[in-house]
Structure 1
């Protein structure tokens, strides 16, 4: 969080004001960068600290809260678009970032680090770049699900034999909203509405987030559920009786990257660009891959970096039109409410 300035800093502000300059760093000083980050603080803070040590630039992070699920900082950026206090937006998903770009809130910046990222995870107008992805998976309890009867597709969530035994997060925020927006693109709105309604009618547990889905499956309260690889990995590392699979693997795996972008009109653009360059480095992707979140590097120079998900990646990545997915958000949320996913 951006805390109260000490007395010395207030003196600088007063001097800057007297000189007709901007308060933060007197306008031209680029030794501070403000970053909004939705990636969990436990994973993002060490990376930002490493950047501070390497660059000498002071990082002022603003972290999203668990209950706002990536949307809190997005809404804050929109509310402050006339006078932004943020330089860099580091999101832990992609469709809300694309939405900000379409609203004109993100600036063009072609980072040298973006060249190592495949084009399907980069904005063609250089307003955002993806890196370090998570994968959408079905997590299942091996004590409750037989190896010859796996819930291998999303149809399992509507199958009567699994009634009252599945779980998923409500599709109003985070990676679940992104996933459902992708399904809207792949299936069309009519089939998506039918599936969501059937999921609810099948007594699926509708949870506040992916970690809750995981916890219900770990506890044996539900046999399986939709979640992300980072949440699943925490349970697997703890020795819980769970495994994961890619739902409908023949269609490809849904990879949802972190994204980073420079904010239009930001107070410290040069420092912001330097932070973006760092976040898009192989060093950061490698660090996230080896962290407790076990994220998946996207950089072509890290193809040999091992993760727990290498076998699942054999399915390949599902092709996604990210702009189209972002454009479907409002309709997807409306349909989800219509079928009662918020109840």
Structure 2
């Protein structure tokens, strides 16, 4: 009987030793990679599945909620800094990637595609690499208006009082856009613009998708969102269209996806393979031809005609490092003044 008890105690221990660390490849390395991503699951999952098919590496993906886009995952990565669980961070924007760099959550890695990526969309030390972008656009309901605004400042005019919506500026690409206002215009002008929006009763939606939905349903005639949200509504035959604002001035804002290696990544070898894949021309082509219509950052990426048309627009010349430095004061103003007593 004592011998049988010893055997039953040993069996669970043996199972743990054999399988507890997950599947291994022939080199004894883990056959998985963990990616945190703020990019919408319907768009990112096919990309990650393609990587799994090509490499045999299992991808465990952790997604963020729409309302807290990027910010939630960034806070989680900071909290896990001394015991990282993620290997890769695929961020649907850029400014909060720079937060992670400053917090020393990231490790430098330059994938093969780093060299051909435009310098404004890559970190000179290799802490992050951009690989496709979305533009910030005005979405409008074609059943309600025929002559939409062409300049951002129009949202502060009386014609649109209580008739425009934006996503909560504390999160996602809207927070990135607000940070660029502070870096490009200076704090006085940026704060004045935000207060003008507030005084014009701009409607705060929980996210870009809900801003898009509000316009598509006719709840409001215009709003700010990203090209992927606007294009998705157009493909679903909603009565909407989009405008790339300020084409006679500083242009629209183009925000890249960024991907980076987590410092101390448990599966570093596989993490680098995933980063190589995400920054490849193949993935840029897949994203351009997807329902999201991502705008390639590299030259000569095959793309449908509507994406080629978007890529030809005028875009703001942004120093994202400068925008990052303005993020904290910009968000403090948003919390204390713009969102106060709404």
Q: TM-score normalised to the size of structure 1?
A: 0.90
In the alignment, the residues of structure 1 paired with residue 114 and residue 330 of structure 2 have an alpha-carbon distance, to the nearest angstrom, of 30
Which residue is equivalent to 2:167?
A: 169
In the alignment, the residues of structure 1 paired with residue 234 and residue 268 of structure 2 have an alpha-carbon distance, to the nearest angstrom, of 41
In the alignment, the residues of structure 1 paired with residue 259 and residue 242 of structure 2 have an alpha-carbon distance, to the nearest angstrom, of 28
In the alignment, the residues of structure 2 paired with residue 334 and residue 100 of structure 1 have an alpha-carbon distance, to the nearest angstrom, of 19
Alignment of 1:263-302 (within 5 A): 263-302=262-301
Alignment of 1:1-343 (within 5 A): 11=14, 13-14=16-17, 23=21, 29-147=29-147, 150-249=148-247, 250-302=249-301, 304-341=302-339, 343=342
In the alignment, the residues of structure 2 paired with residue 124 and residue 192 of structure 1 have an alpha-carbon distance, to the nearest angstrom, of 28
Offset at residue 235 of structure 1 (A): 1.2
In the alignment, the residues of structure 2 paired with residue 261 and residue 333 of structure 1 have an alpha-carbon distance, to the nearest angstrom, of 24
Deviates further, 26-35 or 67-76: 26-35
Deviates further, 313-322 or 287-296: 313-322
In the alignment, the residues of structure 1 paired with residue 225 and residue 12 of structure 2 have an alpha-carbon distance, to the nearest angstrom, of 44
In the alignment, the residues of structure 1 paired with residue 307 and residue 222 of structure 2 have an alpha-carbon distance, to the nearest angstrom, of 18
In the alignment, the residues of structure 2 paired with residue 234 and residue 180 of structure 1 have an alpha-carbon distance, to the nearest angstrom, of 24
Q: TM-score normalised to the size of structure 2?
A: 0.90
Partner deviation per Cα, 1:253-289 (whole Å, 9 max, x = no partner): 2111111000111111111100100111111111111
Which residue is equivalent to 2:6?
A: none
- Contact 1:171 1:341 survives alignment (8 Å): no
In the alignment, the residues of structure 1 paired with residue 275 and residue 300 of structure 2 have an alpha-carbon distance, to the nearest angstrom, of 18
Offset at residue 115 of structure 1 (A): 2.3
Partner deviation per Cα, 1:76-114 (whole Å, 9 max, x = no partner): 110010010111111111111111112211111111022
Stretches of structure 1 lacking an aligned partner (at least 5 in a row): 1-7, 18-22
> Considering only CA atoms, is the larger Rg found in Structure 1 or Structure 2?
2
In the alignment, the residues of structure 2 paired with residue 55 and residue 25 of structure 1 have an alpha-carbon distance, to the nearest angstrom, of 14
- Contact 1:289 1:307 survives alignment (8 Å): no
Offset at residue 28 of structure 1 (A): 5.7
In the alignment, the residues of structure 2 paired with residue 10 and residue 285 of structure 1 have an alpha-carbon distance, to the nearest angstrom, of 46
Secondary structure of 1:212 counterpart = helix
Offset at residue 48 of structure 1 (A): 1.0
In the alignment, the residues of structure 1 paired with residue 169 and residue 226 of structure 2 have an alpha-carbon distance, to the nearest angstrom, of 14
Distance 1:247 1:15, change over 3 A: same
What's the C-alpha RMSD, in Å, of the aligned pairs?
2.1
Stretches of structure 2 lacking an aligned partner (at least 5 in a row): 1-10
- Contact 2:295 2:310 survives alignment (8 Å): no
Secondary structure of 2:214 counterpart = helix
- Contact 1:24 1:267 survives alignment (8 Å): no
Distance 1:14 1:233, change over 3 A: same
Partner deviation per Cα, 1:183-216 (whole Å, 9 max, x = no partner): 1111111111111111011111111111111111
Offset at residue 234 of structure 1 (A): 1.2
Distance 1:13 1:101, change over 3 A: farther
Partner deviation per Cα, 1:155-174 (whole Å, 9 max, x = no partner): 11110121111111120010
- Contact 1:163 1:203 survives alignment (8 Å): yes
Offset at residue 311 of structure 1 (A): 3.1
